[in-house]
Amino acid sequence: MSEKLQKVLARAGHGSRREMEAWIAAGRVSVDGEISGLGDRVEADAKIRIDGRAVSLKSADDIICRVLAYHKPEGEICSRKDPEGRTTVFERLPKVRDARWVAVGRLDINTSGLLLFTCDGELANRLMHPSNEVEREYAVRTFGEVPEAAVQRLRTGVTLEDGPAKFDTIKAAGGEGINQWWHVTLREGRNREVRRLWESQEVQVSRLIRVRYGKVELPKTLPRGGWIELPIDQVNYLRQLAGLEAETRSILGTDKHSVARSKVKSAKIRRAVHKHKVVGNHGKPTRQRS
C-alpha cells in the first residue's frame, strides 16, 4: 500500500514531517530516479534518495519508537549545525542507526531544562502541532519587584505582537532579595512566549527552566547536558497524546542485568557531561551549579 512520501521519511527518522515537506519542495528528494513533489505517494519498494544519497527505509513494524529526555543547558542552540560554531543540543545525544533524533519543539539559547527527542518523526510532528496543546511548565526567576496587578494581567491575558496570550497558571515559588521564583504553565509553543509575556509587564527574566512537558518531568537527578531514555509507559503516554497506536517494544529491559547496564550508562553520561565543562585555555573542568 502506498503512503505519502513525507510521512515515510518522517517515520524513518530523517526529520519531522514539516522538515520533509520542505526538503521535497526544495527538490532534494528523488523517487526511482525522478525528483519528487509534494503529495507524492510511494510504495514499500521505492528507491528514495535525499541529496543524491540513498536512504534506508523501514516499515512501521520494523521501527521501535524511542524518546529521550535531555537536560538542555543554557548556551546550546536547537539546531543541527550552527554557522557561528555554537554548541547544539544534538552533539551529546547517542547515535541511532538508520535514523536520527528529532527535537520535539525548541528552547531558546538562554533557556535550559527539559527537551524531548524522538527517532519517530511522525510522533514529533504531531506533538508539535498547535492543535495538540500539551501543557508545559516552567520555573522562572524574575529580577526586581513584580506588582500583583501585573501577575493578574498575565493570568487574564495580554496582547503580544502575534496575538493574545496568557499563562494558564502562575504561582509564586519563593526567592531571596530582589530575585523571585515562579512556576507557570501554558499550552502553546510560540517563540519565546514565556519571556515575552513577562516582558510585556516590564519584568526582567533572569533564568528560565522548562521542568515538565505534559506528564513527563525533568528528572531531578539528570545533570545538565545529560539524557535518559524514557521507559515504554512514558513513550506510550506521548503516543496517546499524539493519537498514535501504543508501542509494544522497548530497548530498555526490566531484568536485573538491564538495570545494572542502565546504571553504567548513567555513569558514562555523567562523565561525558563532566568532560564538556571546560573554560579558558587551560582545559580544567569547572563545576556547574544546579
Q: Note whether 152 and 208 are same-domain residues.
A: yes
Q: What does DSSP say about strands 48-50 and 41-42: parallel, antiparallel, or unpaired? A: unpaired
Q: Are 68 and 28 in contact (CB under 8 A)?
A: no
- CATH number, domain of 18, equals 3.10.290.10
What is the reported pLDDT for 282? 40
**Which pTM was predicted?**
0.76
Q: Tell me the mean pLDDT per 10 residues along the chain, length 290.
A: 83 77 93 91 89 78 86 94 90 84 93 95 88 93 94 96 95 89 92 95 96 96 95 96 91 50 49 50 39
CB 203 within 8 A of CB 144: yes
Q: Is 108 a catalytic residue?
A: yes
Residue in 51, 108, 162, 233 annotated catalytic: 108
Same domain, 87 and 221: yes
For residue 45, what are the domain limits?
Answer: 3-61
Residue 194, in any domain of the structure: yes
User: Is residue 260, in this structure, part of any structural domain at all?
Assistant: no
pLDDT of residue 259: 40
Packing angle between helix 232-241 and helix 121-128, nearest 10 degrees? 50
Same domain, 109 and 168: yes
**Final residue in a domain of this structure, among 226, 247, 272:** 226
How many separate domains does the chain show?
2
Give the per-residue pLDDT at 234: 97
Instruction: State the pLDDT at residue 272.
Output: 53
For residue 42, the number of C-alpha atoms closer than 13 Å in the C-beta half-sphere is: 25
